[in-house]
């Protein structure tokens, strides 16, 4: 328990930290326990991101949009009230540092390390032990951070836009179960994350666009069952060149809303899907009922049509009758 005096209201404020069943710290204040849906990840009452660097002699914290934040550079020096979108710091001794970023009260901090010349490859770990105050967009946030090997379960509950957020983060081998329940667009978010070997069942129930989201995740072996029912835009090239992807679940497209003719163009091109996975995809698309679309499910080592089940071939024939053009291996 911690306590501080609230001068504005003339009273002491007590804060308790509790550990939930998923191991995340939360807090209550003034003795009022917040409901689980409103729990705020916290260490203390201020929100911050934590970056761990590679061995560096300097580092640039890069952001986008209006910001106002404090930073602890990890070497004993701090700066407050920063409003610049590119803040540099030079260390007296090269080494590994943990940098803490704390938005001013009422402010957000939208990270955008992408484009931070000579700095985007010096980030190894991102955490959010105090909640991240990210606002609604983390577009391009950590794109091309090729040395990033660990990403924590930060507070993304307010984020709606995630395009390219982790694109080309080739050092990531896994990804946490973050809150994506309000995300509407995650186009190319994990594209070219060639180190990923697994992916969690995130909540995509609000997503309208997942085009190229996992394009080029060449070590991803299986994909989880998730809710794509509100996707209205595209699945174009979403799993293209996932050359290790063998397992894809059933019923993923039963209730989707897409209408564009190229909505599934090259969606599964150059994968390694088994005949069962191809059956899962084709029968679900047949259930969906879309017409006059294209589907890319050929090339790579995707199972050839001669190995498909009766159910898969029936679904294929039904789709062709509905005007679909399907590229596949023979």
Is the pLDDT score of 11 beyond 70? no
Is the pLDDT score of 23 beyond 70? no
Of 84-88, 104-108, 139-143, 290-294, which range is least confident?
A: 104-108
Mean pLDDT, rounded, of the chain:
88
Which residues are CB-contacts of 89 (< 8 A; sequence separation ≥ 6)? 58, 59, 60, 61, 71, 73, 77
Q: pLDDT for 78-97, tens place per residue?
A: 999 999 999 999 999 999 99
Q: Which residues of 120-134 are buried (b: 16+ CB within 10 A; e: fewer)?
A: bebbbbbbbbbbbbb
Sign of CA dihedral 7, 9, 11, 12: negative
190-205 average pLDDT score = 97
Is the pLDDT score of 3 beyond 90? no
pLDDT tier at 121, thresholds 50, 70, 90: confident
**pLDDT for res 47:** 60
**pLDDT for res 116:** 77
Q: Which residues of 20-45 are buried (b: 16+ CB within 10 A; e: fewer)?
A: eeeeeebbbeeeeeeeeeebbbbeee
Annotated domain spans of the chain:
1-45, 47-132, 160-330
CA atoms within 13 A on the CB side of 111: 29
**pLDDT for res 21:** 42
pLDDT tier at 324, thresholds 50, 70, 90: very high
90-109 average pLDDT score = 94
Nearest CA to 227 among 242, 212, 206, 257? 206
Q: pLDDT for 216-245, tens place per residue?
A: 999 999 999 999 999 999 999 999 999 999
Q: Note the pTM of the prediction, 2 decimals.
A: 0.85
**pLDDT for res 119:** 77
Is the pLDDT score of 25 beyond 60? no
**pLDDT for res 35:** 39
25-54 average pLDDT score = 53
């Amino acid at each position: 328990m911690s306590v501080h005096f609230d001068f504005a209201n003339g009273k002491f404020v007590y804060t308790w930290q509790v550990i939930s069943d998923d191991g995340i710290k939360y807090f209550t204040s003034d003795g009022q326990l917040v409901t689980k849906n409103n729990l705020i990840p916290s260490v203390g009452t201020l929100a911050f991101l934590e970056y761990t660097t590679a061995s560096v002699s300097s580092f640039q914290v890069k952001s986008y949009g209006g910001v106002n934040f404090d930073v602890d550079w990890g070497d004993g020096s701090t700066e407050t009230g920063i409003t610049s979108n590119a803040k540099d710091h030079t260390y007296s001794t090269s080494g590994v540092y943990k940098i803490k970023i704390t938005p001013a009260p009422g402010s957000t901090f939208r990270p955008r390390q992408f484009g931070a010349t000579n700095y985007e490859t010096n980030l190894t770990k991102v955490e959010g032990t105090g909640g991240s105050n990210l606002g609604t967009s983390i577009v391009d946030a950590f794109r091309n951070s090729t040395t990033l090997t660990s990403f924590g379960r930060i507070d993304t509950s307010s984020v709606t836009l995630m395009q390219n957020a982790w694109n080309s983060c080739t050092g990531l081998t896994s990804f946490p179960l973050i809150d994506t329940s309000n995300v509407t667009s995650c186009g190319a978010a994990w594209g070219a994350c060639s180190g990923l070997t697994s992916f969690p069942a995130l909540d995509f129930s609000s997503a309208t666009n997942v085009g190229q989201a996992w394009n080029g995740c060449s070590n991803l072996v299986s994909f989880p069952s998730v809710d794509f029912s509100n996707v209205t835009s595209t699945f174009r090239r979403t799993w293209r060149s996932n050359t290790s992807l063998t397992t894809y679940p059933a019923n993923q497209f039963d209730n989707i809303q897409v209408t564009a003719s190229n909505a599934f163009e090259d969606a599964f091109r150059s994968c390694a899907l088994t005949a069962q996975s191809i059956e899962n995809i084709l029968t679900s698309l047949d259930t969906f009922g879309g017409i006059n679309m294209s589907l890319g499910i050929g090339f790579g080592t995707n199972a050839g049509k001669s190995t498909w089940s009766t159910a898969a071939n029936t679904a294929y024939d039904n789709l062709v009758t509905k005007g679909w053009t399907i590229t596949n291996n023979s």
